[in-house]
Structure 1
Amino acid sequence: MLTTGRERFTLQGHSAPVMSVASSADGSVAVSGSHDNTVKVWDLQTGEPIACFVADHPILSCAIFSTETTIKAGDGGGFVHFLRLERP
């Protein structure tokens, strides 16, 4: 049986196509990587960005480790970035 959901909000803030999105296991945050060279961290309760990392190349992939405090992102220059998410 297929169930459907409804859109809660649209995450807006990148200035170029988004290439990758990942969410935390608890569903509280998401990360997105874009051709605008940024990784954005989003609060999924409000839909607002809470952090932004700028790379030298387009971000092609991103993920959140199971600890939910480390984000990894791969860019078009062949670099892998490990970012620590510090929550208040």
Structure 2
Amino acid sequence: MSPEGRTDENVRNGVRVGTLVWGAVLIVIGVLLAVAKFTTIQLDARVVVIGVLLLAGLALLVGGVSSAAIRAKKRRDEATDTLEQ
């Protein structure tokens, strides 16, 4: 155990998927608002919100599944390395 009370298992590397997805949602909404404000393009707000939320939900699901698969592979690799020693 490290001095901070954390084990290697508790330390996360990289950015969380949810942080990236919600950041992307905010950027998309901001860009769409700017496009609607400064061009003659008219957007139906309800359809835009539904589309953005559907894409965000899909991205969260895919990110969560891929993250779980990566963690499972790391655990299998660590277990194999431990058995080989």
TM-score, with normalisation over the residues of structure 2?
0.22
- Structure of larger gyration radius: 2
Considering fraction of residues, name the structure with more helix.
2
Considering fraction of residues, name the structure with more strand.
1
